[in-house]
Amino acid sequence: MWRYLAPLGLFIVLVVFLSIGLKLDPREVPSPLINKPAPAFKLPELHQPQQMVSPADFKGKVWLLNVWASWCVSCRAEHPVLNQMARTSQVPILGLNYKDGRDVAQQWLRQRGDPYTVSAFDEDGRAGIDWGVYGVPETFVIDKRGAIRYKHTGPIDQKAVNDKIMPLVRELEKEPA
Amino acid sequence: MKKLIMLLLFAGLGTAFAGVEVHQFEQAEQEQQYNRLIAELRCLVCQNQNLADSNAELAQDLRQEVYEMIQAGASDQEIINFMVVRYGDFVLYRPPFKATTVFLWIGPFIILIAGFVILLVFIRKRRQLGAVELDETEHARARELLNQNNETDSQ
C-alpha cells in the first residue's frame, strides 16, 4: 500500500507546486520602492517647457504617477482606461513621458485625449531609472505623505482600476496627511 | 561563393557589434570594474541577460549610469546599492543571503543531504535482509539451472 501511496503523494505535491508556478509571472519584479518615499525629480512640463514638475507638488494628496511613451504599444491599450479614470474620479494623475519626443508625445495626447493633471517630460529617462521603471507603462499610487504604496507594471485595465487601484486610493484618502 | 557568404556574414557581425557603445576609460582598473559590474547586473527588460549582453534601451541607459558612476569614483558596492534601491535584489545575478533567499541558497544542500539519508536507509534495509539460505532441493535446482547455462554457453 505504502509503496503506491508515496509516489502518488509526491506526484500530487509536484503538481501543486508546478501549477502555482504556472500562474506566477516571472516578469513581475517586486518593487523595492513600495512604502518608500517617492523619488524626487524636477522635470520640464511636456506642454510648457519653462514650467517645472515635481512630485513635491502633490504633497498632501493621494495621486497616481503613470509612466508612458508614444512608442509604447501597450500604452495605447491602457489610455482609454486612464481617460475614463480622469473623467470619473478626482485623483490627480502625473504623466511621466518617458524617453520620448516632445512633438510626438503632444500629438499623441491630442489624438487620444489627455488624462494627465500634469505631464513631466523625462527625455533621457533618468527619472524613470530613479523610479525603477523597466517596462512601460507603469503606474504608481502615492499617498499623502509622498510614499509609494502600490506599483502596477504593464498596462492597467478597468478590472485593475476597479479592484485594486481605486479601492486603495479611497483607503489612502482616509489616512491623515 | 562560400567565401562571399562568409564575408557577408562577417560584415553583419561588424554592424551588430557597432550597436554597443564604446566607453573610454583612463585607468585599466576602471575598465575592469565596468566590465565586472555589467556582467553581474541583470537587465530588467530581457531578464535572462546581463547588462553587458543586452541591447535593450534600458540596459544601454544603465550601462551609461554605471559608466558615469565609475568616472565619478564610485565603488562596486555603491553602484550595486544604486541598482538595488531602484530595482530590488532582482538586478543581482548573485542574490544576497537573507530570510527570503535562504531556501535558494541552502535548498540544494538540503535536497542533497535528504538524498544521502534515503540512500543510506535503503542500503541498510538491504543489508538487514541478509543472505538468503537455501535448502537442499533449492540448491539442487540452482545447480541444475547453472549447468544448463554452461551447456548453452559451450555450444
Give contacts of A130 with chain B, Cβ < 8 Å.
Answer: 86
A7 lies in some domain: no
The shortest CB-CB distance from A99 to any of B57, B87, B88 is to B57
Quote the ipTM score: 0.79
Write down all domains in chain B, each with its CATH number in brackets. 25-91 (1.10.8.640), 102-154 (no CATH)
User: Within a domain: residue A18?
Assistant: no
- Other C-beta atoms closer than 10 Å to the C-beta of A128 total 24
Query: Could B87 and A29 be called an inter-chain contact, meaning their C-beta atoms sit closer than 8 Å?
Result: yes
- The pLDDT tens digits for A120-175 are 999 999 999 999 998 889 999 999 999 999 999 999 999 999 999 999 999 999 98
Does A59 fall in a domain? yes
Contact (CB<8Å) A129/B90: no
Q: Distances from the Cα of A28 to the Cαs of A133, A148, B57, in angstroms? A: 12, 17, 19
pLDDT tens digits for range B89-104: 888 988 888 888 888 8
Q: Would you say residue A21 lies in a domain?
A: no
Name the residue range of residue A79's domain: 28-174
List phi, psi (to 5°) of A148: -75, 130
Q: Is the peptide bond before A7 cis (omega within 30 degrees of 0)?
A: no
- Total domain count for chain A? 1
A29 contacts on B by Cβ (under 8 Å): 44, 87-88, 90
The pTM of the full predicted model, rounded to 2 decimals, is 0.76
Decide: B88 and A148 in contact? Cβ < 8 Å: no
Q: Which residues pair with B41 in a beta bridge?
A: B92
Q: Do the domain assignments include residue A89?
A: yes
B-chain residue closest to A29, CA distance: B90
DSSP state of A105: H
In a domain, A17, yes or no: no
A92 belongs to a structural domain: yes
Q: What is the CATH number of the domain that holds A72?
A: 3.40.30.10
The residue with cell 482600476 is: A161
pLDDT tens by residue, B10-62: 655 544 443 467 888 888 889 999 999 999 998 888 778 889 888 888 899 99
